[in-house]
Amino acid sequence: MLFNSYEFLIGFLPLCLALTCAARRFGRLPALSILVLVSLGFYALWEAQYILLLLSSIFFNYLMGNLVHATRLRAVVLSGVLVNLAILGYFKYRIFFGELSGLHSAEALVVPLGISFYTFHQISFLIDVNRKNISPRGFSEYLLYVTFFPQLIAGPIVRFTEVIGQFKTASAFTPRAINFAVGFTMIAAGLFKKQILADTFAGYARPVFALAETSASVTMIESWTGILAYTLQIYFDFSGYSDMALGIARIFGIRLPVNFNSPYKATSIIDFWRRWHISLSRFLRDYLYVVIGGNRGGRIRRYINVMIVMLLGGLWHGADWTFVLWGGMHGGMLLINHAWRDLGGGKARHLRIPPAFAWFITFLGVMLAWTLFRAESVHGALNLWQGMLGINGRMALHDVDKQTLGDLGPILEAIGFHWINAEQVSRAFPTQTTFLWFAAGLFICLGLPNTQAWLRRYRPACSLVYGDLDARSVADFVSISLRWRPTVPWALLTAAMLIYAIFHFGNTSEFIYWQF
């Protein structure tokens, strides 16, 4: 059951909300129990055959957490983490590593839904218990922590400390008008991003990447169009999911951690990873990077640790070489970024990069890396990169645009472009409408505040440092009268976004991160 489906929005979510509100009249624990049951039902509607795996994982990790708390033995927490990784590795990577060892298999890789996320939730729980950050009391709260359906399938990766206090308060799960207003506004915004923006850009990206997987060469304009389209698609897809996950949780009175903070405004790769999939970045930092040595051991050791983390982060996204190379590419860019800072880039005036240029090279690097993330093979990614550079020798433009370009046409001809007619144009070739969508998408990414900043007065998330969330753009761009409030005009706008997005459910697709 997709978040962006009639079954969820008109059936499951209202029923779940009604049952929780009714149960809350009898106390906090009845409401919590209902949320656990509907969350398990949500998962079972997807993959009933793996519900026992999910429950077994929960019982095992809760018992291990209590054992870690009682013994404080490093061997106990290590064994718990290794069991979790072994289960994850078996279901997600057995075929990949089998092929590496020469054991080819005709078996199709079926990965239990959400296993990457609920495994990471529970690894963080065990390590935090060992670090004395939490105590594993309250099995019902732990059960909801792992299974809570807004986060269960695709995150964010939540820490037990971030929600246990919310679960245990006397007012937990109590219906409140402000929670409904904020929550449904975020749901509407996220659904609009997914259905209208992300899926539109997917339509431009899909034929280009399909063409790249064939032996045909891809033109320069096709390559740039396809890669930019996917860059915008994954932005709005993940931003939309993040908004919906936080919004759904909020209508039940729960604040999840912010997971997305305008990453395309980043002026360095380091800054990008502080803004993109924030909960994954901090998990890799706190539970992998720190464990393998972090900044200890000198500069070279730190660089090695960064690369190890990024390679494993890439592999976490998928059991394929394209994901490993994507992680390695980001690791390489991070090393360059750290090396520049170590040389004094942040202090020496002659080494400083102008902000506009820093943004451009960061955005370009992210775009190039997304090619590997989206491509079905390394061959497809290389084909697109060659096309971007004009190596394929087909620097072509549609002849219907010749008059529109005016004086720019002869300049493009002088640097190697040529004109092709309608009979030569592939289905991947862009139109003028494509570029209008690109302009709108880039304006939203770069010129507007994100949802958390727009709603910041009402604290849409927990673990949120509001000073880092576009504080300047909120103050400069959004006047006081235009900041979100629970008023009739904003309610009408929310309803309009929601209805318009629902009318586009005919071509509904899964969120990209539901694959991981």
Q: DSSP string of 83-123?
A: HHHHHHHHHHHHHHHHHHTT--------PPTTHHHHHHHHH
* Residue 380, domain member (yes or no): no
- ∠ at Cα 261 (497, 446), nearest 5°? 70
Confidence band of 101 (pLDDT split at 50, 70, 90) = low
At 425, list the tokens.
Answer: 């144009």
Q: Are residues 119 and 241 in the same domain?
A: no
Cα–Cα dist 346/348, whole Å: 6
How many folded domains does the chain comprise? Answer: 2
* Residue 76, domain member (yes or no): yes
Q: Are residues 154 and 185 in the same domain?
A: no
* Residue 378, domain member (yes or no): no
Evaluate whether 449 touches 478 at the Cβ level (below 8 Å).
yes
Domain membership of residue 224 as a residue range: 181-260+395-515
* Residue 370, domain member (yes or no): no
Cα–Cα dist 388/367, whole Å: 11
Q: Are residues 138 and 224 in the same domain?
A: no
Q: Are residues 53 and 139 in the same domain?
A: yes
Confidence band of 477 (pLDDT split at 50, 70, 90) = very low
Residue 324 CB-density burial (10 A; 0-12 exposed, 13-18 middle, 19+ buried): buried
Closest alpha carbon to 120 in 318, 320, 316 = 316
Where among 117, 139, 174 does a domain terminate? 174
The H-assigned helical ranges of 343-459 are 355-374, 378-389, 402-405, 408-414, 432-447, 451-454
- ∠ at Cα 177 (172, 182), nearest 5°? 90
Where among 109, 140, 174 does a domain terminate? 174
Cα–Cα dist 335/270, whole Å: 9
Work out the average pLDDT over 417-425.
Answer: 57
Confidence band of 362 (pLDDT split at 50, 70, 90) = very high
Q: Are residues 208 and 104 in the same domain?
A: no
Cα–Cα dist 30/34, whole Å: 6
Q: Are residues 170 and 227 in the same domain?
A: no
Confidence band of 429 (pLDDT split at 50, 70, 90) = low
Q: What is the DSSP letter of 202?
A: H
* Residue 104, domain member (yes or no): yes
pLDDT at 349: 55
* Statement: residue 122 has pLDDT above 70: yes
Round to the nearest angstrom and report the end-to-end CA distance of the chain.
Answer: 16
Query: What's CA 364's distance to the chain center, in Å?
Result: 19
Work out the average pLDDT over 507-513.
Answer: 79
Evaluate whether 152 touches 43 at the Cβ level (below 8 Å).
yes
Query: Could you tell me the sign of the dihedral formed by the alpha carbons of 456, 458, 461, 462, in that order?
Result: positive
Work out the average pLDDT over 456-472.
Answer: 62
- Which is more confident, 101 or 82? 82
Q: Are residues 95 and 216 in the same domain?
A: no
Q: What is the DSSP letter of 419?
A: E
Q: Are residues 69 and 139 in the same domain?
A: yes
Cα–Cα dist 478/474, whole Å: 5
Q: Are residues 215 and 77 in the same domain?
A: no
Cα–Cα dist 365/359, whole Å: 10
- The model carries a pTM of 0.90
> Mean of the per-residue pLDDT values for the chain?
86
Where among 174, 205, 230 does a domain terminate? 174
* Residue 339, domain member (yes or no): no
* Residue 217, domain member (yes or no): yes
Please report, rounded to a whole number, the percentage of residues in the chain having pLDDT higher than 70. Answer: 85
* Statement: residue 140 has pLDDT above 80: yes
317 is known as an active-site residue: yes
Please report, rounded to a whole number, the percentage of residues in the chain having pLDDT higher than 90. Answer: 60
* Residue 487, domain member (yes or no): yes
* Percent composition of the chain: helix, strand, coil (DSSP 3-state, to 5): 70, 0, 30
Confidence band of 406 (pLDDT split at 50, 70, 90) = low
Q: Are residues 149 and 14 in the same domain?
A: yes
Q: Are residues 57 and 151 in the same domain?
A: yes
- Which is more confident, 229 or 133? 229
pLDDT at 117: 94
Cα–Cα dist 68/286, whole Å: 19
Cα–Cα dist 173/28, whole Å: 7
Residue type, 487: T
Q: Which of 69, 121, 277, 317 is catalytic?
A: 317
Q: Are residues 56 and 163 in the same domain?
A: yes
Evaluate whether 236 touches 197 at the Cβ level (below 8 Å).
yes
* Statement: residue 178 has pLDDT above 80: yes
Residues 6+ apart with CB under 8 A from 244: 3, 4, 150, 186, 187, 190, 191, 194
